[in-house]
Amino acid sequence: MTDAFIYDAVRSPRGKGRPDGALHELTSVALSAKILDAIRLRNGLEGHAVEDVIWGNVTQVGEQGGCLARSAVLASGLDQSIPGLAINRFCASGMEAVNLAANQVKGGAGQAYIAGGVEMMGRVAMGSDGAAIAVDPGLAMKTYFVPQGISADIIATEYGFTREMADALAVESQERAAAAWADNRFANSVVPILDQNGLTILDRDEYMRPGTDMATLAALRPAFKDMGESMPGFDKIALMKYPHLERINHIHHAGNSSGIVDGAAAVLIGNAEFGAAHGLKPRARIRATAKIGTDPTIMLTGPVPVTEKILRDAGMAIGDIDLFEVNEAFASVVLRFQQAFDVDPALVNVNGGSIALGHPLGATGAIIIGTLLDELERSGKSVGLATLCIASGMGAATIIERM
């Protein structure tokens, strides 16, 4: 089996996912095309340079419906001979696109792929696809469905995380993100988004709140308390599933949960022959990929078992990993990961995460792989692991090794 290498990784800045957000006037196809063009131009890709474009996206309705990947190829400057594949593994869609591409390369099904994803959360509302896991009564009742915010609060209750612990992690995410931008650490990956006249629409992550402190967060109301305790009363469903819990401790709010944003990201993956043919030097080797299913009610614990699986499959131990990117869907997700593996927090999300920067669902998995690669290069470290929790109870992970 051949090696799969990362040759490049780019992303858009993350724009506020609402009508006054800088990227709001761009469609999902338009933003995707700009990112595809960036990776095409940066690497001199002409003709049928890659086997396929694999593009993750979660809410696949409206402008994000159909085969968005193919639409993005046709809207970009990529050759029309390159097809497109749209995939959905909820929040890990962008990572799954990368992992699928890497395993296609490893298996000999083409020399190179562009993989990544997009989510325009300000234009296509989360949940507007009417997902069966949430709206089909038979399935929802069978799985004891609760919204993700309730799941995050269940994790906090089950594993003993307080609101103060969650808020401290959120403050640190904001401080790290601000420091990373001040130090220009995202410069190699972030592509400024320009309008048709060449004027800059957005060149910096827009969601950050660098002045956030513990007092600011303490003033925020728990976001999921009412839906848990009152209408529609999801806490009762949770307690039916987990009767050993006396009550659900609602610790999450807008300040310690991931931000709703617009964004896109792409990763160029290929074998050694592809790099030689195009005069490109590989930046990292994809050592291992993994995915797993988990309890669909608590839902967001996937990073722990999928990390156990990927390390086992790769014959590695947690101590072999130099840096971690654990998506900050909610503070309790990262707290649980650190608790489970006794990982030094200084090695996790060193440049901030989705609490500070936002979580454009279908793009985030590709974004954190690129962020991990950049930080490995900046710090001179060797091996990194990226992982995400996933709606309905799944986890995904990728291990990369800097070249």
Per-residue tokens: 150: 């309730």
- Non-local (6+) Cβ contacts of 100 within 8 A are 54, 87, 115
**Residue bearing tokens 């401790």:** 249
CB 355 within 8 A of CB 254: no
Report which of 361, 391, 396 is spatially closest to residue 132, judged by C-alpha positions: 391
Strands (DSSP E) found in 132-215: 193-194, 200-202
- Non-local (6+) Cβ contacts of 271 within 8 A are 2, 3, 4, 5, 105, 111, 112
- Non-local (6+) Cβ contacts of 37 within 8 A are 76, 77, 78
Cβ neighbours around 29 below 10 Å, total: 22
Helices 93-106 and 361-379, axial angle in degrees (round to 10): 70
Query: What amino acid positions are annotated as catalytic residues?
Result: 91, 359, 389
Calculate the dihedral angle through the C-alpha atoms of 13, 120, 298, 347, rounding to the nearest 10 degrees.
-10
Report which of 189, 395, 388, 386 is spatially closest to residue 288, judged by C-alpha positions: 386
Report which of 366, 284, 265 is spatially closest to residue 5, judged by C-alpha positions: 284
Q: What is the distance between the terminal CA atoms of the chain, rounded to a whole angstrom?
A: 19
Per-residue tokens: 266: 């792409």
Q: Residue type for 154, please?
A: I
* R_g (Cα) of the chain, nearest Å: 20
Per-residue tokens: 382: 């060797």
Per-residue tokens: 344: 């030094």
